[in-house]
Structure 1
Amino acid sequence: MHILSVNHNELDFKTIEEEIYKTVCKVACGIMKDILEKIDLMLLAKRDTEKYRNKGFRRTCIHTIMGEVEYERRIYQTEDNDGKSMHVYLLDQYLKKETIGHVSSNLAEKIVENVLEQSYRKSAKKYYL
């Protein structure tokens, strides 16, 4: 947590509000990471081991409305209908993850709404892109 000094000359309501917002977003990103990795672990245990072969972890990062969420997810080797080898992320399938690149659909919607009102540069800066 941030500790703000009472004697701090720059201390005002806006500063306190911004610091609390940043802290809460950082905590929320950590919670999101933990949840995603626990779901991935559950999927590892419940998967069809004949169909999905665990090939290890891949680190990824997704931009969300809370900030960047970095996490690891397992990649699995399987076969498509034609018998060709392919790789999948069971976590992404389970969550029906909708992203545009590494941007969550929620954040993409906020950016589009914001771009209609401000310049692209200001919108990107606002959402840490």
Structure 2
Amino acid sequence: MALENGAPLENITFSTDGHAGLRKTNENGGIIGAKVAPIDQNLYQVVQLIQKGGLPIEKAFQLITSNPAKNLGLQQKGKIAVGCDADFCVFNTDLELTNVFAMGKQLMQNKQIIVKGTFEISS
């Protein structure tokens, strides 16, 4: 909708409250508890924009990579370039996340998380 109304793609980002507490409500809107927000919604929405919305893949991924990095002033994030953090995700042809690297260390391999918790990067 933002693009259809003329907003420049470079000014649009996705964000999430992944793992934040969300209220659980009943069918009448009454609060009945809390749940944890999912952490995968940004990626899900980007894939939907590509598969159902027709947004080119290179434009869609800007919403969760280079655009937020630029808007937050994170110069080492959001791109693959010399001097950057070496964060990299690999997808298959169905746009399923298969491999993840952060700070040059592989965290996911063949759709399986291989590093859990925090990790240290030696300099």
Superposition TM-score, scaled by structure 2 size? 0.22
Rg bigger for which structure? 1
Whose helix proportion is higher, 1 or 2? 1
Select the structure with the greater relative contact order (CA < 8 A; seq sep ≥ 6): 1
